Amino acid sequence: MASTELIDNTILKSQILSKDPVFWQNLAERTRQTSDFSEVSVLSTFRRKALSKGFLPAQEARTKIKLAVIGGCTFHPLSDLILHFLFVNGYDCELWMGDYDNYIWEVMDHSSGLYSFNPDFVLLIPPVWRYRYSGKLTDPQSLVEEEISRNCKDILDLCNRINTGCGAEVILCNFILPCYHDPGSIRTRTLASEWNSLKSLNMQIGLQAPNYVSICDLEFLAARTGGLRARDDRGWFETKQPFSTDFAVHAANEIMHTIQAAKAPAKKVLVIDLDETLWGGIIGDDGLNGIEIGSSSPRGECFKEFQRIIKNLQERGILLAVCSKNELENALAPFEKHPEMHLRRDDFVSFQANWNPKADNMAQIAAELNLSMDSFVFVDDNPAEIEMVRQFAPAVSGICLGADPSFFIRLLKDSRFFEPRNITEEDLVRSQQYKNDEKRMGLLTSSTDINTYLESLQMVAYANDFHPIDVPRLAQLINKSNQFNLTTHRRTESEVTELIGSDQVALSFRLTDRFGDLGIISIVIAKVVEEILEIDTWLMSCRVLKRQMEHVVLNELMTRAAQLNCRKVKGVYIPTSKNQMVKDFYTNMGFAVTSSETDQTEYELITSKFEPFSTKISVIRGSNDKS
């Protein structure tokens, strides 16, 4: 163990000296594989050594963020760990640290360094001593409840002030529960015990926190990694360390993960193998009665439980697809006929059972769902299949389940691919929406004339100015849409909120048809600059391509342009690796090119010359105003 580590470190050192770009890959890989504080510290030193020599990683796909850290403890070495984890995951983080236990003043005083730093994220670590229950174990419950509510309100109030003061998202650490035996079993029988009162405070914070607050759930993290090991009393009394050094690694990782979740899209589709993944055995060889599924054997129970977990994901809005080397008829049989199966054919939005390479099937699923493959996670028991997909469809993330089905659930649940940031109502019905898409496709193939088809959909679009109730979904669309997205400008929920009631044009479009409500599927944001309406953002969910929705959006936008006395509307296309689909969009919509560079093309459309498109969609304006 020690000697391989030494060799690795020696190699890393020589890679710094020769400025070998593979150093950064190795550094990231080593960082991912450890949770040991000293090890991460060494890697962090390597990182700083390389940077001090002017040796940087490749700059594409790196994101700059500004993080402020405030709270009632010292922030080093936690802050350095956070910087390190962010760095190896592609984030160049500028850091501002508040003074020890000065956070209340820093938040309250708008002339404090916190606000002049203008952070994107503020990490708030409240000290437990200020919020633990101060009364007696025997105090009446109502008294304890009152203090807990007051503490919860105090903390969330600070978050609110931060958010209104600088628009930053807040990452709020909750409290590690004290793992001492005292006061014994009475601990659970009174709300006044430190254990119960902090647990209750944590829960209230979580339930009441608004969407601009992400909870860094230290209570959970300490339960997972060991409560006794989470804190270090010597570290607290000597240098006001909030955590033990090893727990600081877990916390820093979690904070990095929270920032990543706010910035990068989550996965949308789980693509699943069948034989030895959803049941034991080979359906083609063993037949319906031969496969292991259900309570007849321990292995069968594992597979059944694994199916239940997958079903839960589906109920949370994750789309399921099958990708299996099988005869279709064999593959379908368990879903249709086996009584022990949790999953049924209807749970899947795409079902690929054939003998094609799995990477090809992934592409087929992507085409059917109109989603790009980087939103896919593929699970298979067979490492060779995982490797094959990794090579030929590298955008897909793989989870190799291996041979022992008792590990499957943990592998899936600890993969962290499917963590919703904020649960929006639309997430819950999305899966149903895609099922309806399948029906729509069926309708399309059976009707010859596209106009007849569109008319038969009975589409209604609701055009609205941005509304507070829609903010989570709007931010989600802005941060998740890659393909039909002209500029790929991302915005946090706070930035979206700022647009409400501003002088910018910020329109959302909801679409319904006779199969259901597709939710908000398009957004356009534009601002008036000297009688010109400049489009900053135009995006659309690919689920509504070819539905004339973009025509509705342009009609609305041009109406606004006329109302605002704008002579023309300007648009820009900024190419990315994913938005080739809209390369010629503005031209197709009747805009003229005004300048063309490799990194962007600019267009304009004269307001007076615009002829509204006729569409098969009826439009209702301002429906949100009534809600």
Partner 1 sequence: MTKAEVLAKLQDVFDSTFVETVIVTEELSANDVEEWDSLSHITLIVSVEKSFGIRFGLGEVESTRNVGELADLIVKKVGAA
> Which residues are near partner 1 by CB under 8 A?
9, 36-38, 41-42, 45, 48-49, 52, 76-77, 80, 234-235, 237-239, 241, 245
Rounded to 10 degrees, the C-alpha dihedral 275/280/284/290 comes to -160
**Residue 55 Cβ vs partner 1, minimum distance, rounded to whole Å:** 12
**Residue 233 Cβ vs partner 1, minimum distance, rounded to whole Å:** 9
**Residue 463 Cβ vs partner 1, minimum distance, rounded to whole Å:** 54
Name which of 9 and 364 has its Cβ closer to partner 1.
Answer: 9
Name which of 241 and 431 has its Cβ closer to partner 1.
Answer: 241
Name which of 74 and 196 has its Cβ closer to partner 1.
Answer: 74
* Nearest Cα to Cα of residue 272 among 237, 241, 307: 307
**Residue 75 Cβ vs partner 1, minimum distance, rounded to whole Å:** 9
**Residue 41 Cβ vs partner 1, minimum distance, rounded to whole Å:** 5
8 A C-beta contact, residue 212 and residue 494: yes
Burial class (CB in 10 A: 0-12, 13-18, 19+), 52: exposed
Name which of 98 and 235 has its Cβ closer to partner 1.
Answer: 235
Task: Render the burial of 440-458: b for 16+ CB within 10 Å, e for the rest.
Answer: beeeeeeeeeeeebbebbe
| Phi, psi of 536, deg, nearest 5 | -90, -40
Place of tokens 């236990």: 101
**Residue 40 Cβ vs partner 1, minimum distance, rounded to whole Å:** 10
* Nearest Cα to Cα of residue 45 among 72, 74, 16, 71: 16
Name which of 79 and 202 has its Cβ closer to partner 1.
Answer: 79
**Residue 120 Cβ vs partner 1, minimum distance, rounded to whole Å:** 23
Name which of 235 and 519 has its Cβ closer to partner 1.
Answer: 235
Task: Report the alpha-carbon distance of residue 607 to residue 569 in Å, rounded.
Answer: 7
Which residue type sits at 448?
T
Task: Report the alpha-carbon distance of residue 408 to residue 211 in Å, rounded.
Answer: 32
**Residue 34 Cβ vs partner 1, minimum distance, rounded to whole Å:** 13
Name which of 80 and 437 has its Cβ closer to partner 1.
Answer: 80
- The contacts of residue 608 (CB under 8 Å, 6+ apart) are 567
Name which of 76 and 439 has its Cβ closer to partner 1.
Answer: 76
Grouping H, G, I as helix, E, B as strand and the rest as coil, residue 179 is: coil
Name which of 234 and 609 has its Cβ closer to partner 1.
Answer: 234
Work out the angle at residue 480's Cα, subtended by the Cα atoms of residues 588 and 214, and round it to the nearest 5 degrees.
155
* Nearest Cα to Cα of residue 572 among 609, 613, 608, 524: 524
Name which of 42 and 409 has its Cβ closer to partner 1.
Answer: 42
DSSP symbol at 34: -
**Residue 622 Cβ vs partner 1, minimum distance, rounded to whole Å:** 55
| Phi, psi of 296, deg, nearest 5 | -75, -20
Name which of 233 and 625 has its Cβ closer to partner 1.
Answer: 233
Q: Which helix (H) or strand (E) holds 83?
A: helix 78-88
- Could you give the strand order of the β-sheet that contains 568-573, starting from the edge strand earlier in sequence? 592-596, 601-606, 568-573, 532-540, 516-529, 505-513, 459-465, 617-621
Output the CA–CA distances (angstroms, integers) from residue 105 to 20, 112, 534, in the order listed.
46, 8, 40
**Residue 409 Cβ vs partner 1, minimum distance, rounded to whole Å:** 34
Sign of the torsion angle spanned by Cα atoms 273, 277, 283, 288 = negative
- Structure tokens belonging to residue 203: 């829960």
Task: Report the alpha-carbon distance of residue 310 to residue 272 in Å, rounded.
Answer: 10
Name which of 84 and 473 has its Cβ closer to partner 1.
Answer: 84
8 A C-beta contact, residue 73 and residue 100: yes
Name which of 66 and 240 has its Cβ closer to partner 1.
Answer: 240
**Residue 2 Cβ vs partner 1, minimum distance, rounded to whole Å:** 10
**Residue 35 Cβ vs partner 1, minimum distance, rounded to whole Å:** 13
| The three-state (H, E, C) secondary structure of 471-521, written as one string | HHHHHHHHHHCCCCECCCCCCCHHHHHHHCCCCCEEEEEEEEECCEEEEEE
**Residue 125 Cβ vs partner 1, minimum distance, rounded to whole Å:** 16
Name which of 36 and 329 has its Cβ closer to partner 1.
Answer: 36
8 A C-beta contact, residue 471 and residue 497: yes
Task: Report the alpha-carbon distance of residue 10 to residue 316 in Å, rounded.
Answer: 46
Q: Which helix (H) or strand (E) holds 211?
A: none
Name which of 237 and 355 has its Cβ closer to partner 1.
Answer: 237
**Residue 528 Cβ vs partner 1, minimum distance, rounded to whole Å:** 49
The length of the chain in residues reads: 627
**Residue 237 Cβ vs partner 1, minimum distance, rounded to whole Å:** 6
